Each structure stands twice: as C-alpha cells, then as structure tokens.
Amino acid sequence: MKRFLALFLLAAASLLAQSETISLGSRGKLTIYLSDKWRFDVSDFGDRQIVTIKPKDETNADCTLTVTYPEVDRFDTKARLKQRVEIDGVKFEERSVEGKARAKEFALQTGYGFRCDFTDPDLIGRPPKKGDFKTISVGLIRLNAEILIEVGISADGFNSAPYNELLGAIEGMEFTPGRGGRR
C-alpha cells in the first residue's frame, strides 16, 4: 500500500513539473525538471551557458549552473574532480560552520560530480531574509570529456524543501549526447 501511495504521489507531482531543455549544440542537450514554482533563465555566451533557476514566489533559494566546454579534459577521474571541488571550496572554509571543504558526490544519471556544503554561522537562528542564504553548495559535474558544469545552490537549509528540490533537479537532469566532438 505504501508503495502504491508513493507512486501515486510521484505521478501527481510530475503533473505539476516543468522542464527546461538547454541545447549544447553538437554536444547534445541537457534537460532539467522542476515544479512550476521555479523559473529558468538561460544565457548563451558561446563558450559557456549560464542557467539561473529562481523561485517565482518569495522562496529564499536559487541555483546557478555554468556549462563550459573545456578544450582539455583535466577531470578524467573522480579523484581529480573531487580534489578540484575541495580546492575551490577552501575560500568558504573560514567563514563557515563546517570549517573545511569536504566533497560529497552527486547522485547523477550521467557523468559524475561533487559538491561542498557550507553554512553561514552569522545567519543561524535568524529568520529567513530574501537574498541572505544560510547555506550554499558549490561543486562541479563532469558529464563527459567535453562538458563541465559548475554548480551553485543557495538556500535557508540543507533540509529545506527548496534546497532539496534544486538538488533533486540537478541529480535528476538528463543528458542526451549529440553527434559532435570527443567523448
């Protein structure tokens, strides 16, 4: 009975979902699924694309994905990518509750990626204020040898519904490879 109820709720939620498909040219396309309470903005700069996801209401959370196309695949192993994410996270260490950048793996359908989570000690216990985020996750996803995605998720808590919606959208995004380039 519980399984049936879970499947029913999942199906009902999908009716309220929207998707955004980002063309990566000959490299393929990326599809992101979220509820209809979020809006997408995609900016194409040729050498990179920036996807911004913001709430349509007063929810205090957002997400930025920067899709780049490196000429050299420097992150051909999980270990190298994890190390880069932890190095990038050092700038947040001193001003965070965590005090250290510890990479956590994204649960992705395609590729691999890591993120570091940080909490602002000055905002703990304070009521949410639009634009002041208590938590931030920063990381990198390597879809394949020619596509790298920088990830930033900001919210009022790692257990908050908006944070988990955004994280779920990233982990559930679908990549359809194109005909171009190297693999």
> Would you say residue 53 lies in a domain?
yes
Residue 57: pLDDT band by 50, 70, 90 thresholds? very high
Judged against a pLDDT cut of 60, whether residue 3 lies above it is answered with no
Q: How many domains does the chain have?
A: 1
> Would you say residue 69 lies in a domain?
yes
Q: Whole domain around residue 111: which residue ranges?
A: 19-177
Residue 45: CATH number of its domain = 3.40.1000.10
> Would you say residue 13 lies in a domain?
no
**This prediction's pTM:** 0.87
> Would you say residue 7 lies in a domain?
no
Could you report the per-residue pLDDT of 13-46, keeping only the tens digit for each?
A: 444 578 999 999 999 999 999 999 999 999 999 8
User: According to the model, what pLDDT value does residue 160 have?
Assistant: 95
User: According to the model, what pLDDT value does residue 130 have?
Assistant: 86
60 half-sphere exposure, CB direction, 13 A CA radius: 15
> Would you say residue 14 lies in a domain?
no
